[in-house]
Structure 1
């Protein structure tokens, strides 16, 4: 298994209706979070702590909520928020 990110429960449920350019920025940040988690948890599968709490990250046009699960080597995106149009 290697580090990756994914939408939880799925992309439509988390990001459905968000503008494509905004989602591109979210996914770029998610890639950066994966690289950071991989560097922090060199072998996440052996991690024994409780993991990190939910966090929020601003991107141009809104923000998203995510959490890191080291033992699964995953960054889960669970909420994407854009301002009302």
Structure 2
């Protein structure tokens, strides 16, 4: 298994209604988070500690919240907020 990101919970529904350029920014930042998590957690499947704390990322037009689950080798986008600015 290799590191990937995906929408979780209500973020998947919110992604259906958000503008394409905003989603492109979210997906680009999520790709960067995956690369960083993969570099920090080289042996992800063997991870036995608690998962690192997630966070918020500001992108043009809004923000999103993410959570890293190391044993699953996933970065989950759990919330998307599109403000339209």
Distance (Å, rounded) in 1 between the aligned partners of 2:14 and 2:50 = 24
Question: 1:62 aligned to 2:62?
Answer: yes
5+ long unaligned stretches in structure 1: none
Compared CA separation, residues 14 and 54, structure 1 to 2 (3 A)? farther
Does the CA contact (< 8 Å) of 1:7 and 1:14 recur in 2? no
RMSD: 1.7
TM-score normalised to the size of structure 1?
A: 0.90
- Counterpart position of 1:16: 16
5+ long unaligned stretches in structure 2: none
After TM superposition, give the deviation of residue 79 of structure 1 in Å: 0.6
4+ aligned runs moved over 4 Å, structure 1: none
Does the CA contact (< 8 Å) of 2:11 and 2:78 recur in 1? no
Q: Which moved more, 1:54-63 or 1:8-17?
A: 8-17
After TM superposition, give the deviation of residue 33 of structure 1 in Å: 0.4
After TM superposition, give the deviation of residue 59 of structure 1 in Å: 0.6
